[in-house]
Copies of this chain bind each other. A is one copy, B any other.
């Protein structure tokens, strides 16, 4: 914070980029837009845009999210991820991007934003396969966002951000299985999440939407931390197990 010589504070552009993750059709998906102008014209990219002089970083992230998804006040979770400011990450100029991570329930299909030629959900596995698929350094940002999301499921109630307001233990378990790419024992999982005080709140209602015996519907509880954490099994190369009840 020293060095007040104006020459010592070169101008930067500051952007926010969004890693918006959801679970839909038994897959973890990310929101991507199709770029309509150079550089990387026609390539896919994470949604994002310039921060305005009169708005905070989180405000800018929420505004971009609203512009891309068309949702005024969306349910879900938003947090800062990290900043990316390599000298040549944008060939046009010096840009520092403050990436944010958003976890959302299965939203209605996004409405293309003003500048984005196209916005859609893309399976994360596809996006991660090819490091060149996304423009700029967005592949790295996506990798970091996905890893952050996976890690946070272990010790936080954030998996519920992928679920609708009311959900069954089965649906919550599917989130863990799909995001982590592992199979979890349904019975032990049930005991773990229902046995941790404050993690889930019963609504008293039940549903049979999964078939079989009616399941309790829960809402997210009030505890901010899951302790002891949910243990992530070794990812021993197994593909994501399919859910027979998958629609």
Interface residues, chain A, CB within 8 Å of chain B?
1-4, 8-15, 17, 33, 35-37, 45-46, 48-57, 80, 82-83, 85-87, 90, 92-94, 96-98, 113-116, 135-136
A45 and B14: CB pair below 8 A?
A: no
B85 and A52: CB pair below 8 A?
A: no
B80 and A83: CB pair below 8 A?
A: yes
Residue of B15, B48, B52, B86 near A56 (CB, 8 A) is: B86
Compute how far the CA of A97 lies from the CA of B1 in the bound complex, rounded to whole angstroms: 9
A55 and B13: CB pair below 8 A?
A: no
The chain B residue sitting closest to A89, CB to CB, is: B56
A136/B1 contact (C-beta < 8 A), A12-B51, A80-B82, A87-B55 known: yes
Known: A4-B37, A14-B85, A54-B87. 20 other contacts (CB 8 A): A1-B45, A1-B46, A2-B35, A2-B113, A3-B49, A3-B115, A8-B49, A10-B52, A11-B11, A11-B12, A12-B12, A12-B13, A12-B53, A14-B96, A53-B87, A56-B85, A57-B96, A80-B83, A82-B83, A96-B98
Q: Give every chain B residue within 8 A of A116 (Cβ-Cβ).
A: 2
The chain B residue sitting closest to A55, CB to CB, is: B87
B83 and A50: CB pair below 8 A?
A: no
Chain A interface helix/strand/loop/mixed: loop
Compute how far the CA of A35 lies from the CA of B4 in the bound complex, rounded to whole angstroms: 12
A50 and B96: CB pair below 8 A?
A: no
The chain B residue sitting closest to A229, CB to CB, is: B229
Determine how close the nearest CB of chain B comes to the CB of A240; give it in whole angstroms: 23
B52 and A2: CB pair below 8 A?
A: no
Determine how close the nearest CB of chain B comes to the CB of A107; give it in whole angstroms: 20
